[in-house]
Amino acid sequence: MLSSFELLEPTTVQEAAGLLERYGDEARVYAGGAELILLMRYGLVDATYLVNVKTISGLGGLVAGEDALRVGSIVTHRALELDAAVRKGWPLLAAAESHVGNIRVRSQGTLGGNLCFADPHADPPTALLVYEASVTIEGSGGSSWLPLSEFLRGTYETALQPAELLVEIEVPRLPSGWTAAFARTERFYRPTANAAVAIDLRAGAIAGARLAVGCVGPTAMRLPQLESELAGLTPAEAGRRVMDARAYLSRQLDPVDDLLGSAEYKSYIAGVLLARAIGQAAGTEGANGHG
C-alpha cells in the first residue's frame, strides 16, 4: 500500500509553479510516476502532495522541425520510440528510448521524468548529449534555457530549483551526412553502461566525431578530447583508439563501484561500447542492438 497523499491538478505551468511554492517540501512533481510511485512505496520519498503535470496543456508536444525536435516534458518513452519522424531524423534518440526498461515502463514513463530524476543508469541522456540537446525550465520567475550537459549536475541532481519545472527538450539535428549508433549493455533492465556515437565519415576517414558515455559516472558525459583524437582515423583505427583510452575514460568518467559493476569494469566496458558504436555508425558492424 502507498501511504496517502493528495493530488493537485494544475492546468498551466505557472499554476504548477505556484502550487510547488505554496506546498514547498511537502509537494512533488508527478509525471508518469514510473519512478516516483516506487520511491514512495519504498519510503524513499515522502510526499503529502503530488502535482500532476500531465494535466497542464502544452507539455505533450512532439514537433519535428527543420532544425530541431521539440519534445514536451510529458512525452512518453514509448511515443518517442514509435514516432516515425523521430526514428528517421533522430535515430539515436529512438534507439535509446527503445531500450528503456520494458514496454510498460516505456508507456508510463516520460522523458522529462527521466531527465529530472537524473538516475545515472539512464539511456536517453547519453543519446541527447550527442545531439547537443538543451532544456527549457520554468518557474514563477520566468523561464530559462540551458544545455542538457549543464542541466545534469550529478547523481540524482539537476539544475532545477525548488518550484521549477522542466518544460521542453530541444534536440537539434546532426549535421547532414553524419551517421550515428547507440550501444548498451544491461543487467536487470537498467543499463550497466551505454554509449552514443555520431561520426562524419569522409573517404573512409573520420572528419568529425561526437562520443558520449552513460551510466559509468555520475551523469552521462561527452568526451571532447577523445573526439578530437579520432580525426583522420579509419573507423577500425578509431575503435582501437577508444579501447586503448581506458586511462582517459576512467579519469574523465569518474566511475563508481555499484551493484551493476566495478569502476574498473565500467571504464573497460565504456571503451568496448564506444568501439562497437563507432563500427555500427560506420556501417562496418551489424545493426543497432543490445550489447
Partner 1 sequence: MAEPRAIVTLDCTVNGERWHGEVPVEEVLLDFLRARLGLTGAKRSCESEVCGACTVLVDGQPMSSCSFLAFEVHGKQVTTIEGLTCEGRLDPLQEAFMRNVASQCGYCTPGQILAAKALLAANPSPTYEEVGEWLSGNLCRCGCYPSIAESILEVARAQSAS
Ligand X SMILES: Cc1cc2nc3c(=O)[nH]c(=O)nc-3n(C[C@H](O)[C@H](O)[C@H](O)COP(=O)(O)OP(=O)(O)OC[C@H]3O[C@@H](n4cnc5c(N)ncnc54)[C@H](O)[C@@H]3O)c2cc1C
**Residue 28 binds to ligand X (criterion: CB under 6 A):** yes
Among 10, 23, 30, 282, binds ligand X (CB under 6 A): 30
Binders of ligand X among 99-118, rule CB under 6 A? 99-101, 105, 108-110, 112-114, 116-117
**Residue 29 binds to ligand X (criterion: CB under 6 A):** yes
Among 8, 17, 27, 34, binds ligand X (CB under 6 A): 34
Question: Nearest distance from residue 196's CB to ligand X, in Å?
Answer: 12
Question: Nearest distance from residue 103's CB to partner 1, in Å?
Answer: 6
Question: Nearest distance from residue 184's CB to ligand X, in Å?
Answer: 8
| CA-based max dimension of the chain | 63
Query: How many whole angstroms separate alpha carbon 138 and alpha carbon 156?
Result: 19
Cβ neighbours around 45 below 10 Å, total = 13
Cβ neighbours around 122 below 10 Å, total = 22
Contact 102, 109 (CB under 8 A): no
Q: 216 is in the binding site of which of ligand X, partner 1, none (Cβ under 5 to 8 A by kind)? A: none
Query: How many whole angstroms separate alpha carbon 109 and alpha carbon 78?
Result: 8
Question: Nearest distance from residue 79's CB to partner 1, in Å?
Answer: 11
Pattern 169-188, binding to partner 1, x per CB under 8 A?
A: -------------------x
**Residue 31 binds to ligand X (criterion: CB under 6 A):** yes
Q: 132 is in the binding site of which of partner 1, ligand X, none (Cβ under 5 to 8 A by kind)? A: none
What is the binding site for partner 1 (CB under 8 A)? 1-11, 15, 18-19, 22, 33-34, 37-38, 41, 49-50, 78, 101-105, 107-108, 188-189
- Site residues, ligand X (CB under 6 A): 28-36, 38, 53, 73, 77, 99-101, 105, 108-110, 112-114, 116-117, 119, 122-124, 160, 165-166, 189-191
